[in-house]
C-alpha cells in the first residue's frame, strides 16, 4: 500500500488486520467511524475501534491489511 492508500483506507467487512505481534483481527461490522473487530477464527468480540486508529497503525507499519478480491 502506498501512503495515500493508507490515508484513504476505508474498511470492508471481512478485512483482516495482521499486527507485528502476530495477532490478527477481522472486521465484522462497520458503524460509520468505528468498526467491530473479532479475533480471526473466534466468536469473541472486541470493543469498537475507530477507523482513524487503524489508519494510524497502517501508516506506522504496525499492521498490514489482507483483503479478499473478487476475480472478474
Query: For 2-15, how does the pLDDT look when each residue is reduced to its tens digit (9 = 90+)?
Result: 999 999 999 999 89
In a domain? residue 8: yes
Q: What is the domain count for the chain?
A: 1
| β-sheet bridge partners, residue 16 | 26, 66
In a domain? residue 48: yes
In a domain? residue 71: no
In a domain? residue 58: yes
pLDDT digits over 19-50, tens only?
Answer: 999 999 999 999 999 999 998 777 777 889 99
SS3 assignment, position 43 = coil
Q: How far apart are CA 30 and CA 23, in angstroms?
A: 20
Instruction: Enter the pTM of the model.
Output: 0.83
In a domain? residue 72: no
- The per-residue pLDDT for 49 is 93
Q: Which domain holds residue 39?
A: 3-66
Cell of 56: 494510524
Q: How far apart are CA 57 and CA 9, in angstroms?
A: 11
- The per-residue pLDDT for 72 is 63
SS3 assignment, position 26 = strand
Long-range contacts of 42-50 (CB under 8 A, 24+ apart): none
Amino acid at each position: 500500500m502506498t501512503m495515500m492508500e493508507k490515508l484513504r483506507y476505508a474498511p470492508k467487512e471481512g478485512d483482516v488486520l495482521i499486527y507485528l505481534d502476530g495477532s490478527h483481527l477481522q472486521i465484522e461490522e462497520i458503524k460509520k467511524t468505528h468498526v467491530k473487530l473479532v479475533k480471526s477464527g473466534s466468536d469473541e468480540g472486541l470493543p469498537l475501534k475507530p477507523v482513524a486508529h487503524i489508519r494510524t497503525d497502517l501508516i506506522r507499519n504496525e499492521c498490514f491489511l489482507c483483503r479478499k478480491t473478487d476475480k472478474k
